[in-house]
Amino acid sequence: MAEQKQMYLAGVVGAGPAGLFGAEKLASEGVHVVLFNRDIRPGGLAEYGIYPDKHRMKEGLRRTFRRILERPNIEYYGNVSIGKQGDITLEELRELGLQVILVTTGAQGTKWLGIPGEDLDGVYHAKDIVFHYNKLPPFSSMEFHIGRKVALIGVGNVMVDVARWLIREKKVDEVVAVARRGPAEVKFTKEEFETIAANLDVEALEKEIERVAPVMRAVGQDPEQAKAFILSARERALPRVSDTRFYFRFLSSPRRILGDEQGRVAGLEVENTTLVRTNGDTKAKKLGTTYVLDVDTVIYCIGDQVDPNLGLPVKWGAYVTNPNPRFPVEGESYEAFDPEKGEPIEGIFVAGWARRPSRGLVGTARKDGTRGATAALMYLRTQEPLSAEELEARLNKVRERLHSLGKPVVTKEDWFLLLEVERREAERLGVPEFKFATNEEMLAAIERARQEKLAPVHP
């Protein structure tokens, strides 16, 4: 009599890069994986966070993700939200028989400063803007009232992406990047800044560097080096397509957003700061003096935080992890932790931006997702394996629960069909890429493809 094969069953919540590569790691070890995704499409920020014209990069990532999902022991279910206010809770997933759950939902929440005026018309968060121009439902259908003079809070790579959209697509009059610290601490690369460097007001930059230079030198920073870095992007900058003026205001901390009688943004009041050295680090210190920037739109580009409605404890914008991990990977903890009880949350692990919001891009997410899966595998080895019959029984319970939702649930085969429909539409229109902007359009396209028995082309 042949020996009965024994297996494990894992769930992965979130199908961005961390979730997909985490699922791949689990599946490669023989674990059967059920992958849940809030969106219809897998990919997360790799699909909806990369600037729209990077077609080759996006297509390469889609091929990689498709290869992962083609594994027979990975099941994909899109258009399913997990959480206290979602379609299914984390507790239900455990009750359905998932032996371990890896949470890779990213940082779905947004950070704000909590200053007066954030409720005015014309105040937005960069994440919503990025999702909008990348056609992520429902952000794709939202209306954003962008004025002629826009203040971007923050000087990271997301700021550059939003500035690129404002300069090259919206063609606004002015864009000002506002930073509490100085030019030595910008968080974008030369290559990223090349996308907007042609619109940089060089004279304004030189005056701004001259203004903040004494403060920089006092903390050991080189103003000329910082200026040279910013200007170095002009050599290979994208050609100008608008007359938008882009400039910086450093050592400036937003204090309040001013509004007009119609409830729209009428200005941004900022407080002057200086730089101080504290425990080997440079920090911004407010000085009490203020001035007003003449802007009519304010967009926050200051990072993200996790969604507290998922059902896991949150601290400092991230899900809490075990300070003394039972299953560490390279010294890092991936185990969800309940600080009130002082104990790990059994069978729940976190990875990617769910563990450390806004840290790194696709490569970082891939590494962290794989490590989170490694920790989950270590936990699984402490559990009783399942027989083939028990595995199938548990999977059927999951499928029945999904069917009971009474809404369209998208499988990986459905996504393959959607890709083929959109490929053919792009070919018909003669454009590099076509993407449906709403869930309704995507679901209708999938249904039509099913009816027509369209065969997706495999990579």
User: What tokens does 424 get?
Assistant: 């053919």
Partners of residue 387 on adjacent β-strands: 6
User: Would you tell me the crossing angle of helices 55-69 and 412-429 to the nearest 10 degrees?
Assistant: 150
User: What tokens does 432 get?
Assistant: 């590099």
Dihedral, CA atoms, 60, 16, 18, 24, nearest 10 degrees? Answer: -70
Q: Is it the case that residue 455 has pLDDT exceeding 80?
A: no
Strand, helix or coil for residue 96: coil
Q: Looking at residue 280, what is its pLDDT?
A: 82
The contacts of residue 115 (CB under 8 Å, 6+ apart) are 254, 255, 256, 257
Q: Is it the case that residue 106 has pLDDT exceeding 60?
A: yes
What is the distance between the alpha carbons of residues 156 and 188, in angstroms, rounded to a whole number? 5
Q: Are the beta carbons of 277 and 259 closer than 8 angstroms?
A: no
**What are the pLDDT digits (tens) for 259-282?**
999 999 999 999 999 999 988 889
Q: Looking at residue 206, what is its pLDDT?
A: 98
Domains and CATH numbers, the chain: 6-108+306-410 (3.40.50.720), 112-302 (3.50.50.60)
Q: Are the beta carbons of 153 and 299 closer than 8 angstroms?
A: yes
Backbone angles phi, psi at 207, to 5 degrees: -65, -35
Q: Looking at residue 457, what is its pLDDT?
A: 59
Question: Which residue type, as a one-letter code, is found at position 368?
Answer: D
Q: Are the beta carbons of 143 and 179 closer than 8 angstroms?
A: no
Confidence of residue 453 (pLDDT cuts 50, 70, 90): confident
Strand, helix or coil for residue 212: helix
What is the distance between the alpha carbons of residues 86 and 103, in angstroms, rounded to a whole number? 15
Q: Looking at residue 68, what is its pLDDT?
A: 97
Confidence of residue 1 (pLDDT cuts 50, 70, 90): very low
Q: Are the beta carbons of 125 and 131 closer than 8 angstroms?
A: no
Percentage of residues of the chain with pLDDT beyond 90:
87
Q: Are the beta carbons of 275 and 130 closer than 8 angstroms?
A: no
What is the distance between the alpha carbons of residues 271 and 205, in angstroms, rounded to a whole number? 19
Q: Looking at residue 3, what is its pLDDT?
A: 46
Q: Looking at residue 458, what is its pLDDT?
A: 53
How many other β-carbons are positioned within 10 Å of the β-carbon of residue 223? 20
The arithmetic mean of pLDDT across residues 284-313, rounded, is 94
**What are the pLDDT digits (tens) for 300-356?**
999 888 988 999 999 988 999 999 999 999 999 999 999 999 999 999 999 999 999
Report angle CA 194, 197, 203 to the nearest 5 degrees. Answer: 150
Q: Is it the case that residue 100 has pLDDT exceeding 80?
A: yes
Confidence of residue 69 (pLDDT cuts 50, 70, 90): very high
Dihedral, CA atoms, 326, 327, 330, 332, nearest 10 degrees? Answer: -60
**What are the pLDDT digits (tens) for 182-202?**
999 999 999 999 999 999 999
Sheet holding 149-153, edge to edge: 123-125, 297-300, 149-153, 174-178, 245-249
Confidence of residue 5 (pLDDT cuts 50, 70, 90): low
Sheet holding 252-259, edge to edge: 252-259, 265-278, 281-293
Question: Which residue type, as a one-letter code, is found at position 329?
Answer: V
